[in-house]
Amino acid sequence: MSAAPPGAAPEGARGARRQRWRALAPPVIVIGLALAAAVVPGWLAPSNPLATNFAMRLQPLGTVAGGHVYWLGTDGLGRDVLSRLIYGTRISILTALAAVLGAGVIGGAMGLTAGFFRRGLGAAIMRLADTMMAIPFLLLAILIITELGSSLPTTIVALIVTTWPVYARTAYATTLKTIQAEFVDAARAAGSTTARLLFRHVLPFITSSLLVIGTLQVATMILYEAGLSFLGLGAQPPTPSWGSMLADGEGYVATAWWLITFPGLALFALVWAVNQGGDYLQTVLNPRLRD
């Protein structure tokens, strides 16, 4: 049996890496554009997203008027759809990131505590998490927003309250597994305090799991925010958001198709890109999923 050429394995590995990066390039580009739109929308938007012009209402794509090009047309109030789409990116991304960060910190802390103190406090925390997960997301979100009022901060609070149990259950399972490891027993025997055991020896093991879940949850939070805004429970007019743009265009499906098409495509593209990035991150952080 002849031996493989010396450079075959490294070349095969390089080819696999190039193929992986080519597959990852489209979602990275989409996420990069979305982040740019969220951070500096004023540099990208051709006009003020709140400016109304009733004389230009429901104009089709590429309409030119007064030296201005409406690349994606105008809505029912004569506002530039492209500008509103760009500014709406900020609402979607900031809401999703804030909700994921808040739910991850709260859920991670609750799961870590529950896993370390399994009886009493830990059992109560996990029963609370199970109860929260049994309540439909939309019902709980509507109850919270009804009590606190419709606004963007309220939407973030509702998303945090409804999703922290996902992180808590993951942190709980990882903590239970980690505290049985020999190095934790050794640290306990050496006189480590409870706080040191939790934050020095256990927390690093649950961080990667929470990071993967958080990345995937960003896409879910974007969809949830769009759904709440579509129902009028998220960002309030005239603030542009993709969900509210879909709601505004619902009555013009037959006459102004662009009002729902482009927010829908933007929502699809960003959710797809974030999911692709989350899958890649999960592969990197979980050795069992690597080729």
Report the CATH number that the domain containing residue 165 is assigned in CATH: 1.10.3720.10
| Digit-coded pLDDT (tens) for 87-125 | 999 999 999 999 999 999 999 999 988 888 877 888 899
Determine, yes or no, domain membership for 56. Answer: no
3-state secondary structure of 272: helix
Range of the domain at 202: 87-289
Identify the pLDDT of residue 264: 95
Q: pTM (2 decimals)? A: 0.85
Determine, yes or no, domain membership for 234. Answer: yes
Determine, yes or no, domain membership for 115. Answer: yes
Residue 210 makes CB contacts below 8 A (sequence gap 6+) with: 104, 107, 108, 167, 170, 171
Determine, yes or no, domain membership for 63. Answer: no
Alpha-carbon separation of residue 248 from 29, 58, 89, 123, 215 (angstroms): 28, 12, 17, 46, 30
Distance CA 220, CA 289 (A): 22
Identify the pLDDT of residue 266: 96
Q: What are the backbone dihedrals phi and psi of residue 74, each rounded to the nearest 5 degrees, phi first?
A: -130, 165
**Ranges of residues in the chain whose predicted pLDDT is under 50:** 1-2, 7-9, 291
Distance CA 137, CA 156 (A): 13
Identify the pLDDT of residue 288: 53
Identify the pLDDT of residue 272: 94
Determine, yes or no, domain membership for 174. Answer: yes
Identify the pLDDT of residue 1: 46
| Number of domains forming the structure of the chain | 1
Identify the pLDDT of residue 150: 85
Determine, yes or no, domain membership for 125. Answer: yes
**Pair 160, 99: CB distance under 8 Å:** yes
Identify the pLDDT of residue 107: 94
Distance CA 168, CA 125 (A): 9
Determine, yes or no, domain membership for 24. Answer: no
Identify the pLDDT of residue 9: 47
Identify the pLDDT of residue 101: 95
Determine, yes or no, domain membership for 29. Answer: no
Query: Where in the chain does DSSP place strands (E)?
Result: 63-65, 68-70
| Digit-coded pLDDT (tens) for 178-202 | 777 676 667 667 766 667 777 777 7
